[in-house]
Structure 1
């Protein structure tokens, strides 16, 4: 199991939990964190016993975005990882889910600040849970910067355009209640319980047929920009093979026998 000094990895049953672990900096992005994140996505993709991923942050914060102090000074720490960036110049975008989409569902568990790069990573997740005191926002324009993590493209596709433009152009913070009202997050829970709530959702995902889950996720994203006619054709191409799997047969048997199914990813 991977991980770095700023990204911890642990298993909770069939769920891989990735924790941004730089609490003294409110989990601001660092090179060790980005390397650990990317390795975590790859580990989840390659391990068939992993059925879901939960992304969270340590110390009561999710992610405060880019480390502006490091950017203004000598740059981000983690020289020992720079060869990874040289070998794969796209690694940081894959880590932030800009240029990589894991096969398994990714559930965000947000406590505290989830701003700038944190809100950008959030847009690459599939299901989102936040604590009542969590805060969101894209602050880049306030610093004279541009949110190049994908927000000018993704945010207007995920929430109504008027809300996306207000978030992008004002750089103001949003409460968890506001974020839920505009559709950026799906659940608001008491402080300190976001991870538990995310793991509960992950357990529900894990109880489903893994081949079906992955096919459904893939279909949702690959048809998003298609016409309805094209999307429906792509859905059939993606979905019909699922009916021919042993897991589909097991699901039907388990229903008839009134027992939980035992899926084998086959």
Structure 2
């Protein structure tokens, strides 16, 4: 099972749980953390027994963004991580889901701060749960910086444009309730229960046919930016092969026989 000093990996049934584990620094992104994230995404996609991924943070915090000192290679004894980033300068973007899209559904379980780079990683996830005390925000403009983790492109596609621009241009913090109202997160739950809710959702996903789940996710992502005509054509291209699978036949039989379906990724 992959993992590093700042990223822990666990299995809960068919769900891989990736935990940002640097609570003393509010889970600020470090080289070992990013290397672990990258490995976690690849491990999930390579293992057909894993049907979903949950991303969360330790110590009541999701992620406070980049640790610039750590990302420069200082403050870590992990020479292997340094070497990996030198060998692949794009590795941090893959880890942050800017240049990599896992084929398995990714569910975020957010407690506490989820700001700057944390909010940027969040936009690469598919389903999002937040504890009521969670906070969100893109603070880069307040510091003369630019949110190059994907937010100027993704955020206006995920929430209404006026809310995206307000978040990007004011750099102000958002409560979980406000993030829920604008659609940045889908569920706001009592503090301390975000992971439980995320695992509950993951279990629902895991009970469905994996080929269908992965094809639906891929189609939604690939249709972004397409015209309706082209998007509908893509839907047929992605959907028709799924309808001809043994799993599709099993789903119909299970429904008729009033029993749980047994999907075999076939």
TM-score (norm 1): 0.97
1:184 paired residue number? 184
Is the partner of 1:225 in helix, strand or coil?
Answer: coil
Cα distance in 2 for residues equivalent to 1:253 and 1:158: 37
Report the CA distance between 1:4 and its aligned residue.
Answer: 0.2
Contact 1:31-1:76 at 8 Å conserved across structures:
no
Residues 65-87 of structure 1, C-alpha deviations (whole Å, 9 max, x = no match): 0115657x974534331111122
Cα distance in 2 for residues equivalent to 1:228 and 1:70: 44
Report the CA distance between 1:208 and its aligned residue.
Answer: 0.3
2:38 paired residue number? 38
Residues 89-110 of structure 1, C-alpha deviations (whole Å, 9 max, x = no match): 1110000000000000000000
Contact 2:152-2:168 at 8 Å conserved across structures:
yes
Cα distance in 2 for residues equivalent to 1:74 and 1:256: 58
Contact 2:31-2:73 at 8 Å conserved across structures:
no
2:86 paired residue number? 86
Runs of 5+ unmatched residues, structure 1: none
Runs of 5+ unmatched residues, structure 2: none
Contact 2:21-2:57 at 8 Å conserved across structures:
yes
Is the partner of 2:258 in helix, strand or coil?
Answer: coil
Cα distance in 2 for residues equivalent to 1:43 and 1:164: 32
Report the CA distance between 1:228 and its aligned residue.
Answer: 0.5
2:122 paired residue number? 122
1:245 paired residue number? 245
- How many pairs does the alignment contain? 265
Residues 27-86 of structure 1, C-alpha deviations (whole Å, 9 max, x = no match): 000000000000000000100000000000000000000115657x97453433111112
Is the partner of 1:215 in helix, strand or coil?
Answer: helix
Is 1:102 paired with 2:108?
A: no
Cα distance in 1 for residues equivalent to 2:70 and 2:142: 18
Cα distance in 1 for residues equivalent to 2:70 and 2:48: 38
Cα distance in 1 for residues equivalent to 2:73 and 2:233: 52
Cα distance in 1 for residues equivalent to 2:46 and 2:90: 19
Contact 1:131-1:190 at 8 Å conserved across structures:
yes
Cα distance in 2 for residues equivalent to 1:220 and 1:80: 36
1:74–1:264: structure 2 CA closer, same or farther, 3 Å change rule?
closer
Residues 4-44 of structure 1, C-alpha deviations (whole Å, 9 max, x = no match): 00000010000000000000001000000000000000000
Cα distance in 2 for residues equivalent to 1:261 and 1:76: 50
Aligned CA-pair RMSD: 1.2
Residues 173-220 of structure 1, C-alpha deviations (whole Å, 9 max, x = no match): 000000011110000000000000000000000000000000000000
Cα distance in 1 for residues equivalent to 2:136 and 2:182: 12
2:24 paired residue number? 24
